[in-house]
Amino acid sequence: MNPPVIDGVDISGYKGTVGDLIAVKARDVITPASVKVVIFSQAGTVLDQGDAVINTRDRRFWMYTVTAANAALTGTRVVVTATDLPSNTTKKESTIS
């Protein structure tokens, strides 16, 4: 079995504010079973984490709604993990400069 594929992570909507959206484009043979997002500070502290929700109109896209504020964006890392039903995983990391 092949792991899921993360085609893209759109962090352009992430401004460090509660309610910001992070969009993930992920795919698998059918669809990934889950997509998780973890946001780290530059120092490596977890600032926010949770499950992205699949877009019911286009199942290739998942949305994560930020639940914690982050005043220091530079160096912030967003790590996305897509998992399929056999528990194969793929990770993609983005860093805010």
Domains in the chain (CATH in brackets) are 5-95 (2.60.40.1220)
pTM over 0.85: yes
Model confidence over 42-96: pLDDT tens digits?
999 999 999 999 999 998 999 999 999 999 999 999 999 999 999 999 999 999 9
Q: Are 52 and 26 in contact (CB under 8 A)?
A: no
